[in-house]
Amino acid sequence: MTDFVNQINKRRTFAIISHPDAGKTTLTEKLLLYGGAIQLAGSVKGKKTAKHAVSDWMEIEKQRGISVTSSVMQFNYNDYCINILDTPGHQDFSEDTYRTLMAADSAVMVIDASKGVENQTKKLFKVCLLRDIPIFTFINKMDRDAKNPFDLLEDIEEVLGIKTCPINWPIGSGKEFKGVYDRGKDEIIAFTANNGQREVEADIIKLNSPNLRDKIGNDLADTLMDDIELLDGAGDELNLDDVRHGRLTPVFFGSALTNFGVEPFLEEFLKMTTPPLPRIADGKEIDPINTPFSAFVFKIQANMNKAHRDRIAFMRICSGKFDKNMEVYHIQGDKKMRLSQPQQIMAQEREVIDEAYAGDIIGVFDPGIFSIGDTICSVGDKFVFSGIPTFAPEHFSMIRLKDTMKRKQFVKGISQIAQEGAIQIFQTLGGGMEEVIVGVVGTLQFDVLLYRLKNEYNVDVIMEGLPYEYIRWIENADIDVKKLSLASDTKRIQDLKGNKLLLFTSEWSINWALEHNKELKLSEFGKN
């Protein structure tokens, strides 16, 4: 195998998704520890007093002490080269979180064992389903009192509609947590709380060992035997084809904080995931090995470094090898170019790179020419990767200009910020640009918008919250929107390209619209 093929085959690119506080940051940190990317647990996230995540690039993030942006971390583990795409986990997450999932080949879903599937996980999961990517579940915090493991599996199956197959099985939880039973190896890994550092001595007992009952007690041993019988008899089998098409999720139980079950999870996970798979462009498969360099832009980040006022376009490499000095072709701009200052980003460290391969994420300096979803390929190639959908915003505000003399700056600012994909802008039917409706996925984006309009464009605006929570794109091109029969609290709007949309305050009004307009077709995702 040539080095080039080997480089691509060893890549694993995945995102970690979870509801805030389920333990995503802690698990990521432990994974980095195994990869040797950090030396000491606790260095990714400081203690509460000095708590702001390492990816604090924007001033506003520092002010609020939370992370708005998604970062990418690369490290080697055994023979693998791993790219973890971090997704903002705070309540105020943004469309970037969704778009990051477009760049991943699989997702790790972290669930808090005392809570089960929570709201934000549900939303992120829906986006994973759009692409049928494999989803691996890590049920975390087993060292705390947890729900019954069968109930947790049922929750995942019912709420998310995906089959489950536990790879290991917990023995007790909280103070009674004794470890996990590894179903494949037929042995028990006893729980040893440690300070969360890398060196963990695994205490392993075979299921038929005479010491088992001494170790975990009679009650838990009886429960375990019953559970194993039930799982073997009634549970879904591990079918890798189902895993790879997102129809079944392998489930692991553990405790990220105490570093219990993290390395076995990583090893099994790496075996089950695939190297970068072909991506679709113009209806054809683009093979990662046989096609020269190609990539698409999935995220644009403004002002990561205020001193430079720069903008960084993040691309996922889909095929071939990227060389620092190579000439590439930007399809949407119809231009040959060199990508300047290509870099890989590790937490807040940026490192200029010379080469990268399919599966990798690179950030390049963007003088304002890229948009989300753009394709970049080798000179001579011409294909366009299927676009990244526009995700439905959930919060809406009316934004008005305070000083009408500043109209030009306002339009420029709001259009540029929308082009980066941080916000979406809409107008009332036939409305102008003095007053726009802004839609965001997470409310923090409103603060970011006001801050940036003031700081970068010197524009003051008045913002008024709107009661809508749902937006739907009207798919029928020929429908007369004014004639639709709608509930009184439904609003007709359009985007800047003239697409027609509806804003609703409740799911009830969406159903009302569909029931009273039989031909009406609504979509939760806009096409780009």
Q: Which residues bind ligand G4P (CB under 6 A)?
A: 18, 20-26, 45, 48, 89, 140-141, 143-144, 255-257
For residues 73 and 347, the answer to whether their CB atoms sit within 8 Å is yes
Smallest CA-to-CA distance from 183 within 77, 272, 264 is with: 264
Largest CA distance in the chain: 84
Task: Give the count of beta carbons closer than 10 Å to the beta carbon of residue 436.
Answer: 26
Closer by beta carbon to ligand G4P, 74 or else 255: 255
- Give residues with Cβ within 8 angstroms of 284, minimum separation 6: 383
How far apart (Å, rounded) are the C-alpha atoms in residues 20 and 47?
17
For residues 526 and 474, the answer to whether their CB atoms sit within 8 Å is no
Shortest distance in whole angstroms from residue 18 CB to ligand G4P: 5
524: tokens are: 């939760």
Closer by beta carbon to ligand G4P, 48 or else 483: 48
For residues 66 and 92, the answer to whether their CB atoms sit within 8 Å is yes
Closer by beta carbon to ligand G4P, 172 or else 373: 172
356: tokens are: 């990268």
How far apart (Å, rounded) are the C-alpha atoms in residues 455 and 448?
10
How far apart (Å, rounded) are the C-alpha atoms in residues 57 and 304?
5
DSSP sequence for 162-227 = -EEEESEEEE--GGG--EEEETTTTEEEE-----S-S----EEEETT-TTHHHHH-HHHHHHHHHH
Shortest distance in whole angstroms from residue 4 CB to ligand G4P: 36
How far apart (Å, rounded) are the C-alpha atoms in residues 164 and 150?
10
Shortest distance in whole angstroms from residue 50 CB to ligand G4P: 10
Closer by beta carbon to ligand G4P, 115 or else 350: 115
Packed helices 444-457 and 407-419: angle between N→C axes, nearest 10 degrees: 130
Using DSSP, state whether 30 is helix, strand or coil.
helix
Residue tagged 């553990």 (tokens): 254
Closer by beta carbon to ligand G4P, 22 or else 453: 22
Closer by beta carbon to ligand G4P, 26 or else 319: 26
Shortest distance in whole angstroms from residue 203 CB to ligand G4P: 18
Shortest distance in whole angstroms from residue 106 CB to ligand G4P: 18
Shortest distance in whole angstroms from residue 123 CB to ligand G4P: 15
Shortest distance in whole angstroms from residue 40 CB to ligand G4P: 14
Shortest distance in whole angstroms from residue 272 CB to ligand G4P: 22
Shortest distance in whole angstroms from residue 254 CB to ligand G4P: 7
Shortest distance in whole angstroms from residue 27 CB to ligand G4P: 7
Closer by beta carbon to ligand G4P, 20 or else 359: 20
Closer by beta carbon to ligand G4P, 45 or else 147: 45
Closer by beta carbon to ligand G4P, 252 or else 504: 252
Shortest distance in whole angstroms from residue 217 CB to ligand G4P: 22
- For the chain, count helices (H), then strands (E): 13, 33
How far apart (Å, rounded) are the C-alpha atoms in residues 434 and 11?
48
DSSP sequence for 73-125 = EEEEETTEEEEEE----STT--HHHHHHHHH-SEEEEEEETTT-S-HHHHHHH
Closer by beta carbon to ligand G4P, 100 or else 490: 100
Closer by beta carbon to ligand G4P, 140 or else 490: 140
Closer by beta carbon to ligand G4P, 42 or else 387: 42
254: tokens are: 């553990």
How far apart (Å, rounded) are the C-alpha atoms in residues 371 and 358?
21
- Give residues with Cβ within 8 angstroms of 236, minimum separation 6: 163, 164, 165, 248
Shortest distance in whole angstroms from residue 46 CB to ligand G4P: 8
